[in-house]
Structure 1
Amino acid sequence: MTYLVTGATGGLGGYALRHLMTMVPANDIVALARSEGKAEALCALGVEVRIADYADRESLGKAFSGVDRMLFISGAPGNHRTEHTNVVEMAVQAGVSFIAYTSFAHADQVDNFLSADHQFTEGIIADSGVAHTFLRNNWYLENEMPLLTAAMASGELVTAAGDATVGWALKREYGEAAARVLAGGRDYPEVVELSGPATTYAQLGAALAEATGKDIAVRHLTGTNFSEALQAQGMPVQAAQGLLGVQQLIGSGDLEVTSDDFATVLGKPLTPLAQAVKEVLG
């Protein structure tokens, strides 16, 4: 059995690759990188490294040759649909028998600037006839680093998401879940909703206070007031506006998921939030 991990030089792919190495022999693993330069760090791990780009169908065809099971990590925003179509079509052509795809929380039930391309990709994978599992990842706790860092400096965690909840978990936990599904050994459903406990930003602020021993207030703002507050804390305008878009997505309830799939896949509870916050803060 040959297992391929795409995006192996990235954060999520790197975690998945290293967890997979504890589950199956290293000589059964193929790690995909976009360039020789990015592949250097992977070569020392003892796995086979192949070079391919989602935009280059010929390189994908060569990379997927002989692969049985593939972890397909979604590409960077920009040209998702064409590139993801390339991946799926070349996987089918190469005879890949199983695809685990990193999708978005409740991808088939929400409509936002992140979910649409995941809906599209889930559709083409389902239509391909290849056995698959959609790993519907909620939100990496690491994504909150800009807000957590600003809160550490100011003593105030600002949010425009109101009382909406998020299923935060650590990126390494998402990586481990992906590796477990890729390795197989048990039957997984077509969809696994990988979401941590439903948690508000007020609870995140309390976890930050617990993790650091600092007094952290949580300030609920709306619209431009949120962006202006971050700028006042020293954040660049473009970054603050980007975070506002995410906060509005969260505030609409698109990451409100209730599921025990994550702990079931891992076979253990997720890291408690305060401990996880401490970990991401280093």
Structure 2
Amino acid sequence: MAEPTVLVLGATGALGGHVLEALIARGIDPATVTAAGRNPERLQELGRSGFATARVDLSDRDQTVDVVAGHRRIVLISGGDSHRLEQHTGVIDAAAKAGVEHVYYTSGLRADDVRFAIGADHQATEEALIASGVTYTILRNGWYIENYLQAMAGPRHTGVLAAAVGDAVIAAVSRKDLADALASVVTTGGHEKVTYNLSGDTDFTYADIAQAMSVVLEREVTYTPVTPGELNSMLVGSGMDEATAGFLVGLDEAIAGGLFARTGDDLVRLIGRPTATLVEGLTGR
């Protein structure tokens, strides 16, 4: 049986699952891939599909060192924990000590733009990766279309999409497209010490997003712009805690500032096709 050479950290998450599918679609033998994550049920499913698997909590430095050892290439899908920077640097340290050939990191769009504090962890991870001496590829992922699935809950009943983004645009992109781009980079050469900015090929307005929701929900949805203060009051009034509401308001303010607007054609060039439409992303097509 082939020995695993590619380690995918975050394989049990939504993006990680698409990455594994994309690698297989590009001819990678699943036996040469270690799918690592924290969800034991999902790891069992992946094991039955032929992948090597490893349960790992990246907060545990010893576990991280053990799972990294023996792999030539590492895909580090950025985490969502509050202390994810420590987890990311732990992986990078382990990779450097193990002599890993290549680390692929999924960062965030415009991570190095000081106007957007939301990208601070990504920027710090990028800096640590570059300083480590390990060969790297950084893929700065744009805003997921799928993030709007949860946002459809309100419009489903009210017909109103409220957001504090003004008339901003956002080049939202599907996880499948981002996963295909990552798989393309992992399976081809010429990506050493390169940073890719992966946005969709179309800048959508929130009116466009409301129209896509109308198609998916089969009812009219309209976009209503609100102020950050109004949005915060709406969220807290619905039962959301202050911290989460503040985070979501901050996201809208970053979108209003252009954080996730289109950055170029890196994604289209890597996947070799147009990126998904809003309706395709919201329906999983």
Same fold (TM over 0.5): yes
The answer to whether 1:18 aligns with 2:21 is yes
Q: Which residue of 2 aligns with 1:118?
A: 122
SS in 2 for 1:192: strand
Q: 1:272 aligns with which of 260, 277, 283?
A: 277
Q: State whether structure 2 residue 49 is matched by structure 1 residue 45.
A: yes
Deviation at 1:93, TM superposition (A): 1.2
The answer on whether the counterparts of 1:110 and 1:254 sit within 8 Å (CA) in structure 2 is no
The 3 A distance-change label for structure 1 pair 38 and 211 is: closer
Deviation at 1:222, TM superposition (A): 0.4
Q: Is the 8 A contact 1:211 1:275 kept in 2?
A: no
1:140, 1:77 → 2: CA distance? 18
Tell me how far 1:53 sits from its aligned partner. Answer: 2.2
The count of aligned residue pairs is 278
Q: Counterpart amino acid of 1:216?
A: V
CA shift for structure 1 position 13: 0.9
Q: Distance in 2 between matches of 1:207 and 1:222?
A: 23
**Are 2:258 and 1:249 aligned?**
no
Question: Is 1:54 aligned to 2:58, yes or no?
Answer: yes
Query: Please, which runs of 5 or more residues in structure 2 have no aligned partner?
Result: none
% same residue = 30
State the partner residue of 1:140: 144
Letter in 1 for 2:260: L
Question: Partner residue of 1:204?
Answer: 209
| Compared CA separation, residues 86 and 226, structure 1 to 2 (3 A) | same
Q: 1:58 to 1:25 in 2, by over 3 A?
A: same
Alignment equivalent of 1:180, drawn from 160, 180, 184: 184
Shift of 1:269: 0.9
Tell me, yes or no, if the aligned pair for 1:212 and 1:278 is still in contact at 8 Å. Answer: no
In the aligned structure 1, how far is the partner of 2:276 from the partner of 2:192?
Answer: 22
Q: Any gaps of 5 or more consecutive residues in structure 1?
A: none
Please say which of residues 172-181 and 30-39 is displaced more in the overlay.
30-39
Which shows bigger deviation, 142-151 or 92-101? Answer: 142-151
Q: Is the 8 A contact 1:160 1:244 kept in 2?
A: yes
In the TM superposition, residue 214 of structure 1 has moved relative to its aligned partner by 1.9
Tell me the CA shift for residue 9 of structure 1: 0.7
Shift in Å, 1:61: 2.0
Q: Is 2:195 aligned against 1:168? A: no
- Code of the residue aligned with 1:250 in structure 2: it is I
Superposition TM-score, scaled by structure 1 size: 0.90
In structure 1, how many angstroms separate the alpha carbons of the residues matched to 2:113 and 2:121? 13
